A and B are shown apart, each in its own frame.
Chain A
Amino acid sequence: MTLFDFARGPGMFWATTIMVIGIVWRLAGAVLLARHKDRSTPRGDNRVAAGLRAVLMRSVPPHELEKHITFQHLTGYAWHIGWFVTFLFFVPHMPFIESILGFGWPGLPNQAIVMLAAITLAILLLLLVRRIVHPVLKVISDFDDYVSTLLACAPLVTGIVAFAHLFPSHHETMIGLHILSVEALMVWLPFGKIFHCVTGLPLRFQIGAAFARRGVKA
């Protein structure tokens, strides 16, 4: 069995299985935790609206902090958008998506995607260097931060290398490595900070709803 056959076969099966086990485990574990009953009188009843408002409002930095974290704010959004557009709109990925969802959608021209992927990777690497060099970030960053960053970079690196045929007689291996890098990300996803992709928005909603009960704008 070649690396490519493994990545497309048992590798993807086990990565998917581990990812699903991990996501459901952590979600169930968190949701089922005991909570102190809130015995105060509710001061607002528009909790759903407040929750949704919090999702929107907490997706941008607070006005007071904005000018201090503009760089982080913009680059963060830029690379997230670039990463997901690359994944979801690169046409050779479409059969994979269709095999899961049963439907697909039109993609973007390959050259546009490759440029976007390269820009996304450049931003990620810039942020990684910043994390290593910045006096505060380097103190508060841990193993999880670095692994998560590298796992976000790996599919972009392997994808660009494969697409550009940098190793022409090893194209199959390069595609295999690309798929394996995605599988590594899938396996790590439930257990590190990347899990924010599952919990992020629901958590903002929950905070907004909880604060609304107390009559506070989140």
Chain B
Amino acid sequence: MRDVLVGDYLRGRGVSRRSLLKFCAAAASWMALPPTMAQEIAAAIEKARRPSVIWLPFQECTGCTESITRAETATLESLIFDAISLDYQHTLQAAAGDAAEEARHQAMKENWGKYLLAVDGSIPLANPGYSTIAGVSNLDMLLEAAKGAAAIIAIGTCAAFGGIPAARPNPTGAVAVSDLIKDKPIINVSGCPPIPVVITGVLAQYLTFGSIPDLDRLGRPRAFYGQSIHDRCYRRPFYERGQFAESFDDEGARKGWCLFKLGCKGPITYNSCATIKWNGGTSFPIEAGHGCIGCAEPNFWDKGGFYEALSVSRWGTFGTVAAAAAVGAAAGVASAALARHRQAKAPEGESR
């Protein structure tokens, strides 16, 4: 099955070319490519070989898996999961225990050097017992699986940057995939969770172009993470005109004004929420009236409060300012005393 072309495989499954074209039209939109490229993307995907994908879920909440699978319903995104050969995903697969692990080893052996390794969840280093699969620590499993991978896709902010487990004080010593693996190409698909179509879009991009996409300085595909939420937000004209909601139930909020003052982290967050949106393009947090929390960025949990505007800085408290004033006063008194002493000692008539 591994050497089957994606196009033949899809046709064998009864997936028509129009279905593929529909998917590719959407994929072009996600990748911010011209919609006229849908035909080319379809042609490229058809000619690609089905890559083997091994998915390792580590210290995670399963939100990323839920985000992309929506296991109950078959959607067009599941088409891309037909296009790949998902050889191991222990949350989803029917096999369990030793049989599942055996399947994983088999898939790795058969596709050594060519499989895609998908990881969600962070890796705890403080104690390997914090997160294990079949008795094997996440760290050991990652190091072993990474050796034979062609590339690694770190899905979700936990795998990409450490995420929630790594938030202060990081009791499990959680780290990102890129903190441990330095010799393989890593694609960070961050978000808490990532937008479902971004995950499938990255896979589609890999199938279309057969290579790692263009990545930003944090290792995220530029096609999806190249622009900030602020730059594509439909509420941007309100920001420019200085019309801001001051509280969640005021007139500005009801009129859909900018949420900057209510803590929106849109200006420093790079993701596709404002364009691709969520739930099949229904809406995204800002459109629903809540500021962006910056979940696709590293350390988003520790960037000050979600409701603290970006321009608010931690200048201290009136107590610390009073203490500083007291120190200054003491220094001033000392300086004045020294100056008076010198003045008294200076001969009469000299004022220096």
Query: Using a CB–CB distance below 8 Å, which chain A residues touch chain B?
Result: 2, 4-5, 7-13, 15-18, 20-34, 91-96, 99-100, 107-111, 165, 168-169, 171-172, 175, 179
Contacts and interface: CB of A to CB of B under 8 A. Distances in A.
A5 B299 contact: yes
Given A24-B332, A32-B332, A168-B228, A8 B268 contact: no
Contacts of A33: 336, 339-340, 343
Contacts of B216: 169
A164 B226 CA distance: 16
Contacts of A26: 332
Contacts of B310: 92, 175
A94 B261 contact: yes
B339 to A, nearest CB: 6
Contact of B315 (A27, A95, A100): A100
Nearest to A16: B315
A187 to B, nearest CB: 13
Nearest to A113: B242
B336 A29 contact: yes
29 contacts: A7-B313, A11-B313, A16-B320, A17-B320, A17-B324, A20-B321, A20-B325, A21-B327, A25-B328, A28-B335, A29-B332, A29-B333, A30-B336, A34-B339, A34-B340, A91-B242, A92-B309, A92-B311, A93-B311, A95-B261, A95-B311, A96-B312, A99-B312, A109-B240, A110-B239, A168-B231, A171-B228, A172-B267, A172-B297
B182 interface: no
B313 A28 contact: no
Given A29-B339, A34-B343, A21 B311 contact: no
Given A21-B331, A25-B335, A96 B313 contact: yes
B281 interface: no
A127 to B, nearest CB: 28
A34 B335 CA distance: 12
A75 B89 CA distance: 69
Interface residues of B, number: 48
A28 B328 contact: yes
Contacts of A175: 267-268, 310
Given A99-B312, A107-B242, A169 B226 contact: yes
Nearest to A17: B324
A27 B333 CA distance: 10
Given A5-B302, A17-B320, 17 more contacts: A9-B314, A16-B324, A24-B328, A28-B332, A29-B335, A32-B333, A32-B337, A34-B343, A95-B309, A95-B312, A96-B313, A107-B242, A110-B239, A110-B240, A168-B227, A168-B228, A175-B267
Nearest to A96: B311
Nearest to B239: A110
B35 interface: no
Contact of A169 (B217, B240, B327, B337): B217
Nearest to B314: A9
B329 interface: yes
B316 interface: yes
Contacts of A107: 242
Contacts of B242: 91, 107-110
Interface string B99-125: 000000000000000000000000000
A175 B294 CA distance: 15
B303 interface: yes
